[in-house]
Every structure is written in structure tokens, then in C-alpha cells.
């Protein structure tokens, strides 16, 4: 924990230096600035002292002119073309797949590096899919569109990267328990309305309060949902290993903030639980909470407003060899979306790739 805090502190010092350096100019556009994730992105940019000299909040036509506050200063929301004409060095997108497909290339054409939070570019062969703790090394100066992975994939691969290096992952069975914030404000409103007994617009085909929906995104011909297949395909791409077998079941639960995952992982090599804990404790971005006798284990309520991935309930699968059970929790709006995107941007600045 101490080394992780020192690392974050050093990052903040570097960012503050870049921000105050007279010759350093960094225009940053946040596309989808008025949405749940967009607002978090602006908040994280401020918290981490990212070297923004000019913030450009961007949203749909109905939001143009609205005010966004960043570091005590108000900025007016602008439209896409106005933002492109300003030629920002970075554009961080959280505005949906169709919007990204249309506009991200137009930003890239004027030299802007785009970090996109939608699913639009993730599985494109020539687009990098990045979790900085896992595979930031793949980034180059020529990458003008960079994909931010699915929230559930991000927290899982952060927890597994060190273990994969030590033991090599063969197969993952994952079940997710995902917050309504992963759907957006409409879903949060549905949950809160149901708790108050108020009728309102439905984000889901069923009631969500006091319920669990094994249905995230649309169902595909193979019986899995798109969310489940995202975890399958994205994990292999990020871990740079197509041999990893992944099967997933994604479930929405009535929680506001924080995704949880039950992960069963089979390795090629035998492992020792003590060594597993040490590896996890040394993995950047991971906090181990694993003392069940004293009721210490990760929960969504603990992850809320934090950037780390919390891991616990570490135990062997007694039904087969070389197999580990673990419980992984993270704030889906932060590490699962906004913070991961900002960390990609930080890496680009640190390595002079933007």
C-alpha cells in the first residue's frame, strides 16, 4: 500500500509540474461531458492534477451552452465541430458507440489523440485496447484512437495480470454482479423510483429493486449477451493471449456504484496461496482484503469513489487442481471507465506520445 501511495503521489507531482510549466499546453476535450461517466472524467482529471490548460466540454446539441465546472472555473459546453476546430491534443470520449464511430476519426484527422470509452473500437484489429497496469506498453505515437475496455473486463484483468505472469491462466469462469450505474442515469432513476413506490420510465424490462437480472446488453445467437462476450474477447486481447478460455455470466443487481465478480481461474502451473497473496499485494492498482474470519472482504460499498481494484475471498477450488477462486470489486464509473481513460492519457503524456 505504501509503495502504491508513493507512486500516485509522484504521478501527481509530475502532473502539477507539467501543468505549471510555461511552455506546456494541453487542450483536453471531454466528449459526453454532461453524462455520468463524462462528469466522472472531469472530476478525475481534476483530482489527479492532469496537466489541462484548456478544458473543452463537449456534448449533444441539447446540452450546448450548459456550464461545467473544472478547478473552480466554469466552461461552456460546445458541439463536436467546434471542439474539433479547437484542435485539442486529447479527446476523451464517453458518448456512445455510434457517436464515437462518427466523430472519433474526425478528431484524429486534425491530430487529436482519442481515448474512447465505448465498445465501438475495442475489437478493431488495428486499435489498441488498453488497461495501463496490464498492457500500456503497446501504445505508440501513431495510435490516434485508443479503446478503453469494458468496466467488468478492466477490474478482472488488473487482478489477474500478475498471476498470469506467474502461473499462466488457462481458463476463467466469471459471474458478474453489476451496478445500475453501468446502465446510466435512467437505470439509477428506475431503482430509486421503485424504492419510493413511484412509477417512472423503465431502463430494464423488469423491476430491478429487490431483484437480479441475468441480462446485460442484448442476447446473441449463441445464448450469451454482448456484455458476456465482451469479457471473453477483450480479456484475450488485453492479456495478449488468445489461448485463454473465458466463459461469463453477467448479472445486474440493485446496487448504486461498484461492480463485483466471482472469478474461478485455472492455471497451467501449480500455485501456493501465500504466493498468490504476495503477487496480488504487489500488483499495481490492487488492494487485497482477505480476512473472512474478521468479516474483511471486498464489497461494492467499499469500492465507491476509489480507483483501486479490491480482491478477496482467495481460496482453492477443491474440485480440481491448479484452480483459484477469488472475489473482485471495483468502482465501475472510476477504474471501470473514467480513471482508466485518464490513466491512459497520463501514460501518453509521460511517454511523450501525444
Catalytic residue ranges: 151, 259
Give, as one character, the DSSP assignment of residue 78.
Answer: B
Instruction: Give yes or no for a contact between 291 and 313, defined as CB atoms under 8 angstroms apart.
Output: no
Tell me how far apart the alpha carbons of residues 63 and 59 are, in angstroms, rounded to a whole number. Answer: 6
Q: How many CA atoms lie within 13 A of 228 on its CB side?
A: 23
Helices 2-20 and 339-350 sit at what angle, rounded to 10 degrees?
60
Instruction: Give yes or no for a contact between 187 and 288, defined as CB atoms under 8 angstroms apart.
Output: no
* Strand, helix or coil for residue 90: strand
Tell me how far apart the alpha carbons of residues 206 and 221 are, in angstroms, rounded to a whole number. Answer: 22
Q: What is the DSSP string of 276-290?
A: HHHHHHTSTTEEE--
Instruction: Give yes or no for a contact between 231 and 150, defined as CB atoms under 8 angstroms apart.
Output: yes
Amino acid at each position: 500500500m505504501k509503495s502504491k501511495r508513493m507512486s500516485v503521489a509522484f504521478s501527481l507531482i509530475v502532473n502539477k509540474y507539467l501543468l505549471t510549466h510555461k511552455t506546456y499546453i494541453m487542450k483536453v476535450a471531454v466528449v459526453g461531458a454532461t453524462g455520468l461517466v463524462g462528469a466522472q472524467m472531469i472530476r478525475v482529471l481534476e483530482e489527479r492534477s492532469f496537466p489541462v490548460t484548456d478544458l473543452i466540454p463537449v456534448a449533444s446539441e441539447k446540452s450546448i451552452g450548459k456550464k461545467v465546472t473544472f478547478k473552480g472555473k466554469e466552461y461552456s459546453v460546445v458541439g463536436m465541430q467546434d471542439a474539433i476546430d479547437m484542435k485539442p491534443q486529447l479527446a476523451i470520449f464517453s458518448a456512445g458507440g455510434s457517436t464515437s464511430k462518427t466523430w472519433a476519426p474526425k478528431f484524429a484527422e486534425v491530430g487529436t489523440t482519442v481515448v474512447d470509452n465505448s465498445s465501438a473500437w475495442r475489437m478493431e484489429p488495428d486499435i489498441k485496447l488498453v488497461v495501463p497496469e496490464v498492457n500500456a506498453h503497446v501504445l505508440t505515437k501513431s495510435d490516434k484512437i485508443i479503446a478503453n475496455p469494458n468496466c467488468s473486463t478492466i477490474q478482472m484483468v488488473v487482478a489477474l495480470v500478475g498471476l498470469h505472469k506467474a502461473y499462466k491462466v488457462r481458463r476463467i469462469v466469471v459471474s458478474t454482479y453489476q451496478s445500475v450505474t453501468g446502465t446510466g442515469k435512467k437505470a439509477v432513476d428506475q431503482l430509486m423510483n421503485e424504492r419510493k413506490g413511484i412509477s417512472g420510465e423503465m431502463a430494464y424490462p423488469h423491476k430491478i429493486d429487490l431483484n437480479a437480472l441475468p441480462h446485460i446488453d442484448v442476447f446473441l445467437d449463441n445464448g450469451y449477451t454482448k456484455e458476456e462476450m465482451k469479457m471473453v474477447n477483450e480479456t484475450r486481447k488485453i492479456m495478449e493471449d488468445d489461448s485463454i478460455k473465458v466463459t461469463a455470466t453477467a448479472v445486474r443487481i440493485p446496487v448504486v456504484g461498484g461492480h463485483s465478480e466471482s472469478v474461478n481461474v485455472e492455471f497451467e502451473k501449480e500455485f501456493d496461496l501465500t504466493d498468490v497473496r504476495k503477487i496480488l499485494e504487489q500488483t499495481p492498482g490492487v488492494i487485497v482484503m482477505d480476512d473472512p474470519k474478521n468479516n474483511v472482504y471486498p464489497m461494492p460499498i467499499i469500492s465507491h469513489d476509489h480507483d483501486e481494484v479490491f480482491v478477496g475471498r482467495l481460496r482453492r477450488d477443491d474440485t480440481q487442481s491448479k484452480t483459484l477462486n477469488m472475489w473482485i470489486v471495483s468502482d465501475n464509473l472510476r477504474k471501470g471507465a473514467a480513471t482508466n481513460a485518464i490513466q491512459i492519457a497520463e501514460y501518453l503524456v509521460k511517454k511523450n506520445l501525444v
